[in-house]
Structures are given as C-alpha cells and as structure tokens.
Amino acid sequence: MLANKPNLSYRLHAAIGHQYGPQRCVANLRPSAIGATWFTID
C-alpha cells in the first residue's frame, strides 16, 4: 500500500511483468522506490 499512483504503477508493472516475468522484475527493481510500489500492488 505504498503506491502513490496505483493505476500507473500497476500498468507499468503489468507491462514489465509480461516482458520479463514477475520474478526477474522483482529482482531488478526491488532496490528502486518505484519498483517497490509496483510490487506492493500485487
């Protein structure tokens, strides 16, 4: 629930998830504050 813009974050997360797979995406973006918001929505 840290996402400030859940719609945008979810759409970006969905796009990246489809491209790279959710686990890779988590590994790549976990250090990023924006990445963290993408995965708090899931």
Confidence of residue 42 (pLDDT cuts 50, 70, 90): very low
pLDDT higher than 60, residue 8: yes
Q: What is the DSSP letter of 31?
A: T
- How far is residue 5's CA from residue 28's CA, in Å, rounded to a whole number? 20
Domain membership of residue 30 as a residue range = 6-41
Q: Is 34 contained in some domain?
A: yes
- How many domains, in total, are found in the chain? 1
Interval 14-25 mean pLDDT: 55
Q: Global pTM?
A: 0.22
Q: Which two tokens stand for residue 40?
A: 């708090």
Q: Is 14 contained in some domain?
A: yes
Q: Is 1 contained in some domain?
A: no
